[in-house]
Amino acid sequence: MSGQLTGPGDGPRRARRAHVTSVIVDVWDRGPSAADDARYEAELATYRGVCEVGGSPWEAVSRLVGEHWTLVERRWSPGGPVA
């Protein structure tokens, strides 16, 4: 799942953008013994322990960002962490 989505019109648009930061999320399969709605766990790679679970990988990531958006916003906004 590390492919990039690109299209025929991406060339000029790519030239105008500047990389600001990257957010890495690890997603773990907790196995068949986990409850159906908690099968997958998403965790911020740079903040171990900041995690959420969901019934699908996407649901776990969505919950992670939704529940911890203030941390993510503060950490990865331009200028770095806000004290």
Listed in sequence order, the residues at least 6 apart from 55 whose beta carbon sits closer than 8 Å to its beta carbon are 36, 37, 38, 39, 40
pLDDT at 6: 60
User: 5 is written with which tokens?
Assistant: 């989505």
User: 55 is written with which tokens?
Assistant: 């019934």
pLDDT at 47: 83
pLDDT at 12: 64
Type of residue at 53: V
pLDDT at 83: 45
pLDDT at 36: 96
**Cα–Cα distance measured from residue 24 to residue 61, given in angstroms and rounded to the nearest whole number:** 11
Low-confidence ranges of the chain (pLDDT < 50): 82-83
